[in-house]
Structure 1
Amino acid sequence: MLLTNKHTKQYAVFYAICFVVCSFWHFYLGRTLSSISPIFFLNRLDISLNILLLTNIQHYIIENKWLQICLDFVYFLLPILLAYSFIKNKNAHKFFAISTSLFSIVYLLLFSIFSIISIEVFIAWMFVPLVFYASNSKSFYFMMHILRLLFLLFFLSTAIWKISTGAFFNIEQMSAILQIQHPAYLAENPNTFYAKVLNFYIKNENISYLFYASATLLELSFLIGFFTKKYDKILIVFFCLFLTFDYFLMGINYTQWLPFMGCLYFSKYKLDES
């Protein structure tokens, strides 16, 4: 089967749906600049972030409520305009692809220092828009596969890091991670079912390690994607398993990585070289 413009537009629709659903969820939880009304920020060792902070934009945001609202509005609007312009074959889609990616990087870098949410969970909104810079199915094919390789690398590098640091060989690793990840919840809600589940895995290191080892092997399995696209649908299932267990055990929500799944799903279509 050949990759056609119909497939590229389907990916754009999928991207837009993912963004709208995730955005509504974040808005409902109050995870926007205007909702959290930041009064301080937390810096970290990040070159791009520190270059951005040299502009003092973080102080302007803290002091100006309307600026917070405007930044939220633009952040939520750009992906919709991008998807619409791409689906309707508007010439502006290239402009919106670059604008959406760059603005998302700036917005999410800033949001991550005003909140406790890691920048890591937002990377799909930074990279996926660039796929829609493509002007035809051929360029889309190559850009999509570059994005696919990046996604595979994200997962594989995590597994390699766990193995290289020795964490994979530490039976107590998962138990310790759960204690570090959920201290506030365990202290405030010790009698809930979820707290009892967490305490069970914390106390039973061998059982909790099985989850850690399984997750590492699952991440390592993404290596196969560098050699063949035959198992991409299985990798989608693996990702969904990872997403589910990471959310319920670690409380980390990776649903915003779902747009990457389009790369794995549409990878089955071949390039029309005629």
Structure 2
Amino acid sequence: MQATPGEDRIVSALRKCALVSGLSEAEVTEVATRASIHKVRANRRLFEEGEECKGLWIVTAGRVRLLHLMADGRQHAVGFHAPTTPLDLGAALDGQPYMTTAMTLIDSEFILIPRPVLIDLGRDYPVTIRNAIDLLCIEVRQRDITAAVAALKDARGRIGCSLLQLARQFGTTDGSAISINYPLTRQHIADRSGVTVETAIRVMSEMQQNGVIQTDNQIIQILDLPRISDAVSCDGCQFECSVFAQKTAVRLR
């Protein structure tokens, strides 16, 4: 089946997504004919916690954070995501309401694979079931580690762990420094770490004054990785944070 120009864009994006890894070009093209592409402006909600699930959203361009909205108006970020990432995979697989709210940080683009198509994928291409299990295991482990860190570490430890995990996801080496190539405000770090923004500002200001980090246009650079690792006791930690690493991310150990 020949793809249309619009479907070509979806095919190109799907090829980079681990969910369809192992499918042939013709099979990916078939999936593309049943998917749709959507553009969402910055600071808009793609879907909300408790909303009926339409299917699986995959980031193809832009930046997105997944969060829980608290009754008192606070936000708890459970993850930040970049292109090729599926969002809230568990809800897409079981058809239950979304478990998180997805908020764009910048203008972004997504592919939507409707849930009936996901069901057909599992039936017609069993490799996608294995892929989905692998992706879901990563998602669950990341959330479990984030929740455990929030419960067991103090504010400095939470922020330090968040920075290290984000460096694994989005870090690139820049000389002796590691740049987290994802625009993050102090509020974003507070939401990710489960602390108040005032605490995030204070702790990160101290880190900057001590030459541990620096920030330029919302891009955080880690200048002294050992000091952060030592402060959060990485060597003796029971959590395996390599689960946050992407294939292109830097190694922190």
| TM-score, L = length of structure 2 | 0.25
More strand by share: 2
Q: Higher RCO, 1 or 2 (CA under 8 Å, sep at least 6)? A: 1
More helix by share: 1
